[in-house]
C-alpha cells in the first residue's frame, strides 16, 4: 500500500468500466483491475450492484480486502428537487437505505446529488445547457434549495448514527455553480456533510481547462 501519510492515494470508480463493452463489467472485475493497476481503492456505484443481499455485499467487501483495496465511496443517485413532498420522501428513504448499505460494507461515505429542475428534452440538450436548467413556472431557485437542504438534513441523523459521511457532488442541477454548492453545505453546517468534486461538471465559459 502507501509508504507514508503524505503519499497520494489513487482510486477508480466502477462507473469508469461500465460503458465500454456490451456486457456489463462485474464489480469484482473492477476490483481485480484496480489491484493490478496498483490503486488504493474503488468507488462503487449503487446502480451497478448485482444485488443488495447481505451475502453479495460481504462478498464484495471480502474481495476488496483480500486484494488490499479500500471501497472508499458508494455513489448513489437521488433528486431532492420535487414539489411533491411524497416524492421527495421517497428519495430521502432511498438515501437512508443506501447509508445502511454503506455501513454494512464498511464504506465510510456515500455520494449524494442535489437534483435539479427537470425539463423535457434530450440529454444532448442538457449538455448544451451545461447542466443548468431554470426553475419551473411558479417556482424559484429558493424553492429548490429549501427542498434540498431539508431533505439532506433529514438524512444526516441516520448518517451520523451509522458513521457514514454524505458527500455532495457538483452534479449539475442546483450544484452547477460553486457558490450554490457552498450555499447548501454552509446552510446545513454539519461535519457529516462534505463535498466531493467532479472537475468535469462545473459550468465553464469557454475553456474548461483555463
Q: Which residue has the higher pLDDT, 82 or 132?
A: 82
Residue 92's pLDDT band (cuts 50, 70, 90): very high
- Domain range for 156 is 76-210
Give the C-alpha separation, 143 to 14, whole Å.
Answer: 34
Does the pLDDT value for residue 52 go beyond 50?
yes
Sign of the alpha-carbon torsion through 200, 204, 206, 210: negative
Distances (CA, A) of 183 to 40, 130, 135, 175, 180: 32, 20, 17, 9, 5
Q: Which triple of cell numbers denotes residue 188?
A: 446545513
**Apex CA 181: angle with CA 6 and CA 170, to 5°?**
70
Q: Do residues 187 and 127 share a domain?
A: yes
DSSP string spanning 20-49?
A: SSSSPPPHHHHHHHHHHTT-SEEEEEGGG-
Backbone angles phi, psi at 75, to 5 degrees: -95, 120
Q: Do residues 52 and 100 share a domain?
A: no
Write down which residue in 43, 74, 105 finishes a domain. 74
Q: Which triple of cell numbers denotes residue 6?
A: 503524505
Q: Do residues 117 and 65 share a domain?
A: no
Tens-place pLDDT, residues 160-172:
999 999 999 998 8
Does the pLDDT value for residue 208 go beyond 80?
no
Does the pLDDT value for residue 203 go beyond 80?
no
Tens-place pLDDT, residues 104-161:
999 999 999 999 987 766 666 666 666 667 898 999 999 999 999 999 999 999 999 9
Tens-place pLDDT, residues 2-42:
445 667 899 999 999 987 778 889 999 999 999 999 999 99
Does the pLDDT value for residue 57 go beyond 60?
yes
Give the C-alpha separation, 34 to 30, whole Å.
Answer: 6
What is the reported pLDDT for 104? 98
What is the reported pLDDT for 132? 65
What is the reported pLDDT for 176? 87
User: Where residue 142 sits, what CATH number does that domain have?
Assistant: 3.20.20.150
Does the pLDDT value for residue 71 go beyond 50?
yes
What is the reported pLDDT for 1? 41
Q: Do residues 33 and 43 share a domain?
A: yes
What is the reported pLDDT for 197? 87
What is the reported pLDDT for 48? 95
For the chain, give percent helix, strand, coil, nearest 5: 45, 15, 45
Q: Do residues 137 and 47 share a domain?
A: no
Name the pairing type of β-strands 193-196 and 11-13: unpaired
Amino acid at each position: 500500500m502507501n509508504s507514508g501519510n503524505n503519499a497520494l492515494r489513487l482510486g477508480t470508480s466502477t462507473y469508469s468500466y461500465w460503458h465500454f463493452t456490451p456486457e456489463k463489467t462485474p464489480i469484482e472485475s473492477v476490483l481485480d483491475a484496480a489491484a493490478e493497476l496498483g490503486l488504493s481503492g474503488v468507488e462503487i456505484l449503487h446502480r451497478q450492484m448485482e444485488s443488495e443481499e447481505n451475502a453479495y455485499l460481504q462478498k464484495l467487501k471480502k474481495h476488496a480486502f483480500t486484494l488490499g483495496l479500500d471501497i472508499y465511496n458508494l455513489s448513489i443517485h437521488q433528486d431532492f428537487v420535487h414539489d411533491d413532498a411524497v416524492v421527495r420522501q421517497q428519495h430521502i428513504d432511498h438515501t437512508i437505505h443506501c447509508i445502511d448499505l454503506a455501513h454494512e460494507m464498511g464504506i465510510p461515505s456515500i455520494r449524494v446529488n442535489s437534483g435539479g429542475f427537470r425539463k423535457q428534452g434530450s440529454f444532448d440538450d442538457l449538455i448544451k445547457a451545461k447542466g443548468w436548467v431554470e426553475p419551473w413556472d411558479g417556482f424559484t431557485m429558493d424553492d429548490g434549495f429549501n427542498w434540498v437542504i431539508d431533505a439532506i438534513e433529514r438524512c444526516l441523523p441516520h448518517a451520523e448514527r451509522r458513521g457514514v459521511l454524505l458527500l455532495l457532488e457538483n452534479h449539475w442541477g442546483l450544484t452547477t455553480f460553486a457558490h450554490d454548492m457552498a450555499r447548501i453545505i454552509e446552510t446545513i453546517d454539519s461535519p457529516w456533510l462534505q463535498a466531493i468534486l467532479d472537475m468535469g461538471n462545473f459550468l465553464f465559459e469557454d475553456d474548461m481547462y483555463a
